[in-house]
Amino acid sequence: MKSFLFLFIALKAIDFDLYAAEAGMPQLDPTYWASQAFWLILVFTILYISISKFYLPKIKNNLDNRESKIKEDLENANKFKEQTEEKIKEYEAILKNAKKEVTKIHFESKKILDKNIQSKKNSMEKEIEKEIAKAQKEILEIKKNSILSIQKISESISSTLIESISGDKLNESSIRATVEEVSKKNIGKYL
């Protein structure tokens, strides 16, 4: 089937004189060789001159401009980047200093505060001690006084008791001596 198709194509081709459209190649006919050479040289010379004098310098100029612009932009970008980094460094240094100062201030104020608190505390304690001492003294006095009054009371009670029990009036001085003796013996218990 395939070979039939090709045979058919070949026969048809021969029929239509495709292979023998014209005798020989027109390229080898020298009639217009001189004309073609002449026009080729003319056209190509004009093309070469216009390209080399006008268009290539223009394109080159455009390309160079673009390249230099890109280079410039990149340089600028780098410069700005450096500047930014510098600024960031500066900022960090400032921040560090500030932190240092803050801790210093914090520390100092704490120290002052501590000192103040300590001194206040000390003075307070002193005052309190003073007060306590005063109070103890007073208490001691009151105790002594009360012992004296207790002695007097006990003297009078004893004399009254003895008088009412025995009916005799005992010598007051002997009673006093006895009470004093007893109270001296027991004074450690009360003080």
Partner 1 sequence: MQQFTVHKIGPEIKIAGIDLSFTNASMFMVISASIIILFLYLGSKNKSIIPSKLQLIAEMFYAFVAKMISDTAGSKAKPYFPFIFSLFMFVLFCNMVGMLPYSFTVTSHIIVTLIMALFIFVAVTVIGFIKHGFKYLSIFVPSGVPVVLLPLITIIEIISYLSRPVSLSVRLFANMMAGHTMLKVFGGFVVSLGVLGGWLPLSFSVALTGLEILVAFLQAYVFAILTCIYLNDALNLHH
CB 165 within 8 A of CB 159: no
Verify binding: residue 35, partner 1, rule CB under 8 A.
yes
Q: In angstroms, give the least distance from the CB of 102 to partner 1.
A: 51
Query: How far is the C-alpha of 165 from the C-alpha of 190, rounded, in Å?
Result: 29
CB 179 within 8 A of CB 151: yes
Q: Which is nearer to partner 1, 35 or 166 (CB)?
A: 35
Contact 162, 175 (CB under 8 A): yes
Residue 95, CA atoms < 13 Å, CB-side half-sphere? 6
Would you count residue 7 as binding partner 1 (CB under 8 A)?
no
Q: How far is Cα 131 from Cα 128, in angstroms, rounded to an integer?
A: 5
Count of positions on this chain that bind partner 1 (CB under 8 A): 46
Options 50-58, 111-119, 122-130, 134-142: segment touching partner 1 (CB under 8 A): 50-58
User: Can you tell me the distance from the alpha carbon of 129 to that of 152, in angstroms, rounded to the nearest whole number?
Assistant: 34
Kindly state the smallest distance separating residue 63's Cβ from partner 1, in Å: 6
Q: Which of 41, 113, 133, 148 binds partner 1 (CB under 8 A)?
A: 41
81 binds partner 1 (CB under 8 A): no
Answer whether 177's CB lies under 8 Å from 148's CB: no
Distance in Å, CB of 23 to partner 1, minimum: 9
Q: How far is the CB of 62 from partner 1 (least distance, A)?
A: 6
Closest CB to partner 1 among 34 and 165? 34
> Which CB, 47 or 77, lies closer to partner 1?
47
Q: CA separation (Å) from 32 to 22, 43, 188? A: 17, 16, 160
Is 71 one of the binding residues for partner 1 (CB under 8 A)? no
CA atoms in the 13 A half-sphere facing the CB of 144? 6
* Distance from the Cα of residue 175 to its chain's centroid: 90
Closest distance to partner 1 from the beta carbon of 74 (Å): 14
Binding residues for partner 1, rule: CB under 8 A, are 5, 8-9, 12-13, 15-16, 18, 21-22, 24-29, 31-41, 43-44, 46-48, 50-52, 55-56, 58-63, 65-66, 69
